[in-house]
Amino acid sequence: MEDPRLSADHDLEQARAALDRGEMHHAADHLAGAIAHAPTLPETHELLSRLAARADGGLELFPVGQHAFVGTVVARAHLLAAAGRPEDGLPLLAAASGHTPGMDWAGVPWVSEPSLGARMDPDMLARMVMRLCTAIGDPAPEAGREALQPYLTVVRHAVAAHPAHHLLLGAGSALARRVGDAAIAVDWATRGVRVRPSKLGEIWLGYAYRSAGRLPEALDALRRAVTHDPDDLSVYADIAGTLAAQGLLDEALEWIDRALARDPDFDCAVHTGHRLRFRSDGDVEHLVRLADFQRYHPDDTHEHTDLAECCQDVPWLGRVPSAPDASPDPRRRFPVASRPPAPRPSVAYPTVARAAVARPSAAAVQRLQRVAHPVWPHPPAAYDAAVGLLLVEPQELLGLLAHPPATPDTEVGRALAAHDPARWTRCVYVWACLGLLHHGADEPWSGSRRRRLLVELAAGGTDAITEAALFALVTYAWVEPAARADVADVVARALADVVTTASAQSADIAWSVAQLALATPGLAPQARELAAAVIRADEEGSTTATIPRQRSRRPGRRLLPHPLLGGRLWGWLTGRVTRSRR
C-alpha cells in the first residue's frame, strides 16, 4: 500500500494471467485487490468487464458475506451496475465509503448518472445516506470530502425526482453539511421541515444553520425540536453547545442543568456540562469528575471527545511542556528499585548514585520508544498507554531515567531530533515514570513500592525528572480517587519547595510545577492560589510580579519574586498554533 498504483498494476498483471488460464476465481481475487488499491483505475474496470463477460456476469465470483474484503464488495457493486441494477450496487459502494471514507470508491460514471437518483427508492436512499453520515464524521475530514461528492450528486438527482420527500431532504442536508456545502444543507433542511415539521427535521435544520454560521437561527430550530420531544435530552446538550459557541455560557449551563435535572447520568449532558464549566472557570476538578464519570459509565450512547478537547495542548494535561534547562543533575541519586521492608514515614530508603544505575537493555529501550510520545489525549489515556511498560522491570525504568536513549527512527522521533531534542529526553522521563505506576499495582497505594519510588524521584532534585515523577503521581490521582489526598499533599509540598528554593535551575521549572499543581485533583486552595500566582507572574513577564508568600520549611531560603523563563512554541509538532508560551 506504500505505492497504490504499483500494487494495483501488480494485481492486474496477475489477474490477466489467471484470466488467460481460465482461472476465474484466481483472477477475481486479484481484481478485488487492484480495486482496493486504485478503485477508479480504467484498466481495472476494463478487465472487470472482460471477467464478467466470460463468467455469466461474474457476480458469483465476488460474494458478499459478513466479513467481505472491501475490494470484493466494490467489484460486486460495479458488476451489479453493469447488469442494469445500479440501485443495488450503490449501497455497496456506500458501505465501502463508510469503511474508508477517504477512498474514491464512488468516483465512476454510473454513480453520477441522473437516472440513478430517479430510480432509487427514496426511503432506502435516505437510510443509506444516514448510515454513511454516521460513519464519515461531522464534519467529514477535509481530505476525504471530494470522494464523498458522488453521493451528494445522487441525492441531488433524487431530490429533483422526489422534491417533497422530507426524510430524503433531511438526510441529504446532513450529508451536504458534512462535505462543506452549508447552503444546500440549509435549503434542503428548510424544505424538509416545511413538508413535515418534526423533531428530526428541526434538528437537521438546526445543524445546517449552525454549519452555515447562522447561530441564532440554529438555536430557534433546536428549541422547536425540544417542543416536539421534551424528553430528548441530547437536544438540550446541542442547544448548550450552540449557546456556548456564542459566548453565552450562563444560558448554556442553564440548559445543561435542565437536562441533568431530568437525568443526572445522561452522558451528553454530563460531558457537555463539565466541558463548559471548565471553560468558564478553568478548574481542573470539572475534568477530573468527567474522567470519573467516563470510568464508571463505559457504555455511553456514543463516543465523546470533551475531555480530550479540554486537555488538548494544555501543559501536562495533554502534552509535555518544553523548558529552557531542565537537565538532571549528574550527581542525582536514584532510589533502589528492589522491594524494601514495609515503609514507615521516618525511614530513609537507600539510594544509589546515577553513575551506578545500570544502562537499560535494548528490549527496554525498544518498549519505551514504542509508547513514548510528547502528546496524549488526557492523563487517564496516558496512564493506559503506559501499560505496556509493565514488561520493563522497575530497575530498567530507573536505568532509562539515568541513561535516556536516543530518539527512535519514527516520524515523531525524527521531528524531535531535528527541532527539539530536549523534549524527547523529557518524554523518556515522563513515560518511564508512568511505567513505574503499573508495577505492584495490587499493593495498597500508601505503602506501595511504586509510590515510594516516585516520591523519592520527585524529591531527589529539582529538574525534569522531578517534573516527570510528579506528573506520574498526578496521573495516578486522576485514575485512583483513593490516592488523591496523598498526591495533592506531595505536589503542594513540591510546589512550595521549588518556589522557595533560591536557585536558577529551580526557578526555571517553577512554572512547570505550578502547571502540574493546577492539574492535581483535590489540591488545597492555598496551594492552588500559589500555583496560579506563579503562572500569572510568568505570563506577565515582570520581575515585580507578586507571588503569595509561603512559610519556608528551610530557614535562610528567600522567596523568589518571579520564576520566569519561557519555552518554545511547538506548532511544528502538533500541527496547530499554540496560544501558550510553552
| Average pLDDT across the chain, whole number | 87
Q: Are the C-beta atoms of residues 294 and 479 closer than 8 Å to each other?
A: no
| Residue 348 forms part of a structural domain | yes
Same domain, 265 and 403: no
- Whole-number Å distance between alpha carbons of 310 and 281: 12
pLDDT for the residue numbered 95: 95
Same domain, 400 and 267: no
Pull the grid cell for residue 340: 524494601
**What number of CA atoms fall less than 13 Å from residue 513's CA on the CB side?**
36
320 Cβ contact partners less than 8 Å away, ≥ 6 residues apart: 374, 375, 423, 426, 427, 430
Average pLDDT over every residue of 520-533: 96
Same domain, 403 and 536: yes
Instruction: Give 339's pLDDT tier (boundaries 50, 70, 90).
Output: low
The answer on pLDDT for 456 being more than 60 is yes
Minimum mean pLDDT range among 4-13, 250-259, 265-274: 4-13
- Whole-number Å distance between alpha carbons of 8 and 12: 6
Q: Which residue has the cell 518524554?
A: 427
The answer on pLDDT for 466 being more than 90 is yes
The answer on pLDDT for 349 being more than 70 is no
Q: Are the C-beta atoms of residues 494 and 462 closer than 8 Å to each other?
A: no
Phi, psi of 87 (to 5 degrees): -65, -20
pLDDT for the residue numbered 570: 29
Query: Residue 334: which H helix or E strand, with range?
Result: strand 333-335
Instruction: Give 375's pLDDT tier (boundaries 50, 70, 90).
Output: very high
The answer on pLDDT for 346 being more than 70 is no
| Residue 505 forms part of a structural domain | yes
Give the bridge partners for 521, in sequence order.
none
| Residue 264 forms part of a structural domain | yes
Same domain, 306 and 338: no
| Residue 5 forms part of a structural domain | no
Q: What is the DSSP string of 261-301?
A: HH-TT-HHHHHHHHHHHHHHH--THHHHHHHHHHHH----S
Minimum mean pLDDT range among 242-251, 297-306, 412-421, 547-556: 547-556
pLDDT tens digits, 207-261:
999 999 999 999 999 999 999 999 999 999 999 999 998 899 999 999 999 999 9
The answer on pLDDT for 18 being more than 80 is yes
Instruction: Give 5's pLDDT tier (boundaries 50, 70, 90).
Output: confident
Same domain, 304 and 339: no
The answer on pLDDT for 505 being more than 70 is no
Amino acid letter, residue 135: A
CA distances from 287 to 276, 374, 528 (A): 10, 21, 16
Q: Are the C-beta atoms of residues 378 and 317 closer than 8 Å to each other?
A: yes
Query: Residue 335: which H helix or E strand, with range?
Result: strand 333-335
The answer on pLDDT for 7 being more than 50 is yes
Phi, psi of 503 (to 5 degrees): -140, 145
- Whole-number Å distance between alpha carbons of 41 and 8: 9
pLDDT for the residue numbered 51: 82
Same domain, 348 and 442: yes
Q: How many domains, in total, are found in the chain? A: 2
Same domain, 468 and 405: yes
515 SS3 class: helix
Same domain, 497 and 355: yes
pLDDT for the residue numbered 461: 79
Same domain, 244 and 384: no
| Residue 252 forms part of a structural domain | yes
Same domain, 371 and 495: yes
Instruction: Give 347's pLDDT tier (boundaries 50, 70, 90).
Output: very low
Phi, psi of 351 (to 5 degrees): -125, 165
Average pLDDT over every residue of 319-340: 74
The pLDDT > 70 percentage for the chain reads 88
* Residue 216 burial (CB count, 10 A): 9
Average pLDDT over every residue of 535-548: 62
pLDDT for the residue numbered 4: 81
Of the two residues 484 and 543, the one the predictor is more confident about is: 484
pLDDT tens digits, 379-409:
999 999 999 999 999 999 999 999 999 999 9
Task: Tell me, letter by letter, the H, E, C secondary structure of 401-419.
Answer: HHCCCCCCCCHHHHHHHHH
Compute, in degrees rounded to 10, the torsion defined by CA atoms 343, 344, 345, 349.
-50
| Residue 452 forms part of a structural domain | yes
Tell me which residue range forms the domain holding 454: 333-574
Q: What is the largest CA-CA distance in the chain?
A: 94
* Residue 389 burial (CB count, 10 A): 27
Q: Are the C-beta atoms of residues 498 and 513 closer than 8 Å to each other?
A: yes
The answer on pLDDT for 53 being more than 90 is no
Average pLDDT over every residue of 529-554: 63
319 SS3 class: strand
The answer on pLDDT for 326 being more than 70 is no
| Residue 350 forms part of a structural domain | yes
pLDDT for the residue numbered 555: 29
Q: What CATH number corresponds to the domain at position 255? A: 1.25.40
Give the bridge partners for 335, in sequence order.
351
The answer on pLDDT for 554 being more than 70 is no
Which of 280, 311, 342 is a domain's end point?
311
Q: What angle do CA 102, 105, 171 make, to 5 degrees?
A: 75
461 Cβ contact partners less than 8 Å away, ≥ 6 residues apart: 328, 329, 332
Q: Are the C-beta atoms of residues 176 and 184 closer than 8 Å to each other?
A: yes
Rg (CA), the chain: 30
| Residue 225 forms part of a structural domain | no
pLDDT tens digits, 105-162:
999 999 999 999 999 999 999 999 999 999 998 899 999 999 999 999 999 999 999 9
Same domain, 477 and 527: yes
pLDDT for the residue numbered 481: 97
Give the bridge partners for 375, in sequence order.
319
pLDDT for the residue numbered 323: 62
Amino acid letter, residue 463: D
Same domain, 468 and 566: yes
pLDDT tens digits, 161-210:
999 999 999 999 999 999 999 999 999 999 999 999 999 999 999 999 99
- Can you say how many angstroms the Cα of residue 406 is from the centroid of all Cα atoms in its chain? 27
pTM equals: 0.79
Of the two residues 447 and 340, the one the predictor is more confident about is: 447
pLDDT for the residue numbered 541: 66
